[in-house]
Chains A and B, each alone.
Chain A
Amino acid sequence: MAGALPRAAPAQEQDLAAPTVDNRQKILQATMRRHQYRPDALIEVLHKAQELYGYLSPTLLATVAHDLHLPPSRVYGVATFYHFFSLAPQGAHTCTVCLGTACYVKGAAALLAALEAETGLKAGSTSADGQLSLLTARCLGACGIAPAVVLDGLVIGHADAATLRARLHALLAQPPLAEEHHGSR
């Protein structure tokens, strides 16, 4: 049993350099306009950019720097400082294991080891086919149902290795995710 959190799922990667002006660019522009292109809106804008594109490509960072009238070094510095921002594409599916204290005391390290063995991935990496990223978190605030794992935005409480393995298999057995499945949450 799990409930989806109202967080936008990561969108599929997309080469920004391609000259297609899709509506994501419009949405990003609208966000910047709402903040009157103020430099202090940088983090808000990067949140939006990552939500739309899934990760922050160099081109995307350059666009943001240009539009907010900030030196690229400042934008890059902020993007690399915060854990939330990813400069590389993430897998179509993500599995995030909480390694916060409450989850750790309840065996999260062993859970992660089991998932690493199962997927052949090391925490923080993405499979070669781009289907799955195995990530870790520092407490999701779901400590009351520790250990907690997030599978594609769905928080799973009282997680155990067997259930997770089964759910991962089910997820990866589905046809590769198409764009419209994303961002609808």
Chain B
Amino acid sequence: MDLAELNAIAAHERASRKPIRIACCTSLGCYASGAVELQQQLTAGVAATGRAENVEVVGVGCMGFCGHGPLVRIEPEDLLFEHVRPEQAPAIIAALDGGPCDVERGDPRHPFFARQLPIVRRNGGVIDPERIEAYIAAGGYATLYRVLHDVSPAEVIDQITRSGLRGRGGAGYPTGLKWATVAKSPGERKFVVCNGDEGDPGAFMDRSILESDPHLVLEGMAIAAYAVGAHEGYLYVRGEYPLAIQRLTRAISQARRHGLSGSQIFETAFDFKVEVRVGAGAFVCGEETALIASIEGRRGQPRPRPPYPAERGLWGCPTLINNVETFANIVPIIERGADWYASIGTARSKGTKVFALTGKIRNTGLIEVPMGITLREIIEDLGGGTPDGTPVKAVQTGGPSGGCIPASLFDTPVDYESLAAAGSIMGSGGMVVMDAGTNMVEIARFYMAFCMDESCGKCVPCRVGTVQMHHLLDKLVNGQATSEDLVQLEALCQIVREMSLCGLGQSAPNPVLSTLRYFRDEYAALLNAPSAAAPQPTD
């Protein structure tokens, strides 16, 4: 493969496009609601009405408005249809001529779409994720070509550092700094690992990226490998994501066939081969040292750091581990420059973040917004508030490691430091909205049950502490706790937080601490009040 061939593929793909395009979302949310049959019906309908000459039906990645799927968009008119059933295919085709159409219409200019800034999701809902040609036509792999021919590894790292990109897996560690450490670490053999374990319940950003634009992640990984001097990579994807695994596996074999993965990529001396590893349902495997153990075929138990994986990772070799969304940011940064990226966001949090908006919210789905946007803008403007118009009580960010932020703090800007100051974390991007019907002590118990079940058992504070804290929360919810129990719960929170070996234990108390901070009255109301059974969450 050389540049001329790449350009030829792109040109051919663009030339074979038809004037009218019916795009069907085929990512999990729509997929599970019958999108595949819908796509077949649309294709058959287009053929039957003799329009195949100038109308194409394509399956595309996630459009983001998952709660309203299956979604169909017609271009260039930019008509959006929601909740489309396969039997409505003829009505959609009729709409091409401006005919009457009773299919539910969406508004592509709704703030849910208009307020977004798609950088990593720019191809989501636009290209067919199953065809490498579609990615190449959208400019794909041109950045890798340029990097391999014209940019030195040190310059790549410099660009990433200056962009201000921070890890999207939760902790927000500066990506450029991590790359520089791996590049400096001595060793013949190095690895690049993409963390696609996405264990936080309520988060599906990484799944959507992998399903909608797998090559963007692969190209980002290849650039990373070039920068740090690695020739082998692993993509660790959780086993609950079969569709993402299928699309990634297909993308890798396409890349290999086109000489964009493997040896002598773009006829340079650069070799890089990637393999997918499928997780087996353990949340702790998202922790980087546990993930490494899992790739090595062992129990996914964390080990103390240092040494960090950047120095001693897979099989003892220097290893770069980044999150899916982190890798998805690489191509846009190199393509448009560090200064452009650094101009988006706040002083210390640059670029955009993808969030999964779920729970008691009208517009459920995936959004990509610039850092610095407020929680209120996300929840009220993009999310449209609660479905029944009642007030939002709180939003949970960061999953089991995060916390609940009350509505009174919704003017908090979304950046790493502000969310931490509010008692939560940026986390990987799950945002679960809660209304008055949600009992916060029950939510705390819910997360503690999660951490208790997922604790790997290696260290005592986490293994025993989560069980004890869960027991105390259970007593509280059942109205059997005394004020001493509450004191003990708070003491345990401190111990487990300070003494646990890995992030799972260290952050397990966070949901308790944050709900105590903002909703202490709900805890107090449950003390010694045997009849006060907590209300069940209702829809």
- A residues engaging B (CB < 8 A)? 1-3, 5-7, 38-44, 46-47, 74, 77-78, 81-85, 99-107, 109-110, 137-146, 148, 154-157
Contact = CB atoms under 8 A, between A and B. Distances in A.
B200 to A, nearest CB: 7
B414 interface: no
A60 to B, nearest CB: 16
Given A77-B299, A78-B297, A107-B537, A47 B32 contact: no
A141 B240 contact: yes
A101 B202 contact: yes
Nearest to A144: B66
A40 B34 contact: no
B172 interface: no
13 contacts: A2-B34, A3-B35, A5-B242, A39-B297, A82-B282, A101-B359, A102-B356, A105-B433, A138-B199, A138-B281, A144-B204, A145-B69, A157-B32
Given A101-B396, A105-B438, A141-B28, 13 more contacts: A5-B242, A99-B201, A101-B358, A104-B446, A105-B432, A105-B433, A106-B537, A107-B536, A107-B537, A138-B201, A138-B281, A143-B356, A144-B204
A47 B69 contact: no
B432 A101 contact: yes
Given A3-B35, A139-B201, A143-B202, A105 B537 contact: yes
B366 interface: yes
Interface class of chain A by DSSP: mixed
Contact of B358 (A39, A138, A146, A154): A146
Contacts of B538: 107, 110
Contact of A141 (B204, B364, B399): B204
A101 B442 CA distance: 11
Contacts, number: 171
A182 B210 CA distance: 27
A5 B277 CA distance: 18
B298 A78 contact: yes
Contacts of B240: 137, 139-141
Given A40-B295, A84-B239, A144-B69, A3 B246 contact: no
B358 A102 contact: yes
Contact of B283 (A78, A110, A138, A141): A138
A35 B18 CA distance: 44
Interface in B275-333: 277-283, 294-301
B333 to A, nearest CB: 26
B262 to A, nearest CB: 17
A74 B430 CA distance: 35
Contacts of B29: 142, 144-145, 157
A54 B202 CA distance: 28
B166 interface: no
B36 interface: yes
Instruction: State which size class the interface on B falls in.
Output: 35 or more
Given A82-B280, A101-B446, A105-B432, A6 B243 contact: yes
A103 B432 CA distance: 10
B356 to A, nearest CB: 6
B365 to A, nearest CB: 5
Task: Please provide the 8 A-B residue pairs with the shortest distance between their CB atoms, ordered closest to farther.
Answer: A144-B66, A100-B201, A82-B280, A83-B281, A139-B201, A155-B32, A102-B358, A1-B34
B198 interface: yes
A3 B38 CA distance: 11
Given A102-B358, A138-B201, A146-B358, A83 B282 contact: yes
A25 B387 CA distance: 52
A40 B204 contact: no
Contacts of A3: 31-37
B338 interface: no
Nearest to A146: B358
B140 interface: no
Contacts of A104: 201, 446, 537
Nearest to B30: A3
Contacts of B294: 43
Contacts of B198: 141
Given A5-B242, A101-B201, A102-B201, A156 B32 contact: yes
Contacts of A155: 28, 31-32
B360 A105 contact: yes
B83 to A, nearest CB: 10
A1 B85 contact: yes
Contacts of A38: 297
A2 B278 contact: no
Nearest to A108: B537
B207 interface: yes
B539 A106 contact: yes
A141 B67 contact: no
B191 interface: no
A130 to B, nearest CB: 23
Contacts of A46: 280
A43 B85 CA distance: 39
B300 A141 contact: no
B519 interface: no
